A and B are shown apart, each in its own frame.
Chain A
Amino acid sequence: MHLLIVEDDAETASYMRKGLTEAGYTVDHADNGRDGLFMATSGSFDAIIMDRMLPGLDGLSVVQAMRAAKITTPVLILSALGQVDDRVKGLRAGGDDYLSKPFAFSELHARIEALLRRRDVQAVETKLTVGDLELDLLSRKVRRGDKPIDLQPRELRLLEYLMRHAGQVVTRTMLLEGVWDYHFDPQTNVIDVHISRLRQKLDKGFDTPLLHTMRGAGYSIRAA
Chain B
Amino acid sequence: MLLEARNISKSFPGVKALSAVSLGFHSGKVNAILGENGAGKSTLLKILTGEYPSYEGSIYLDNQPVRFATVREAQNAGIVIIHQELNLIPQLTVAENLFLGRELNTVLGIMDTVKMNRQTQEVLEKIKLDIPPQTRVRSLKVGEQQLVEIAKALLADASVILMDEPTSALSDTEIENLHRIIRELKDEGKTIVYISHKMDELFRIADHYTVLRDGIMVGAGKMVDTTEHELIRLMVGREVKILPKEAALKQGKVVFQVADLSLQHPYDRNRMVLRDISFALHKGEILGVFGLMGAGRTELLETLFGLHPARSSYRLHIEGKDCYFKSPQAAIRHGLAFATEDRKSEGLILGMDIAENIGLPTVMQSSVLHPAKEKKIARSYVERLMIKTPSVSQLCRNLSGGNQQKVVLAKWLSTQPRILMMDEPTRGIDIKAKQELYELMKNLASTGMSILLVSSEIPEILTLSDRILVMSEGRITGYFTADEADEDKLLKAALPA
A-B interaction: no
Q: Which residues of B contact A (CB under 8 A)?
A: none
